[in-house]
Structure 1
């Protein structure tokens, strides 16, 4: 009976891991260059955390009679 080649298995596992990591990095770079949702652009006052910290949304202290 042939003995298992653990070195080969390990190398194949490492190559698969490396390829997956490269694919994720490529997809991330592509998303950064071509954002699919224009509402999530940096600097957008609706989604930008820095703008929300400077200008927090106004919330009335007391409930209104109409609502």
Structure 2
């Protein structure tokens, strides 16, 4: 009996997930670019502290840390 190829299956799942994410990104982008559409701008302006937290800057303060 043949062994299952788990790496192949995992790679296929990853490719499928990446494809879905790309399709979603394109749909969202198209919705934002339509004039007069009902799409809400889902990209709020990031503050400097938000960017520091996202990038893990050492000087950034995080709530709950001493």
TM-score w.r.t. structure 1 length? 0.53
Structure 1 residue 41: Cα displacement: 7.1
Does structure 1 retain, via aligned residues, the 8 Å contact 2:31–2:37? yes
Aligned residues: 40
The runs of 5 or more residues in structure 2 that have no matched partner are 42-66
Within a 5 Å distance, the mapping from 1:17-56 to structure 2 comes to 17-34=17-34, 35-37=36-38
The runs of 5 or more residues in structure 1 that have no matched partner are 43-67
Larger radius of gyration: 1
Higher relative contact order structure (alpha carbons within 8 Å, sequence separation ≥ 6): 2
TM-score w.r.t. structure 2 length? 0.53
State how far apart, in whole Å, the 2-side matches of 1:22 and 1:7 are: 22
State how far apart, in whole Å, the 2-side matches of 1:41 and 1:7 are: 40
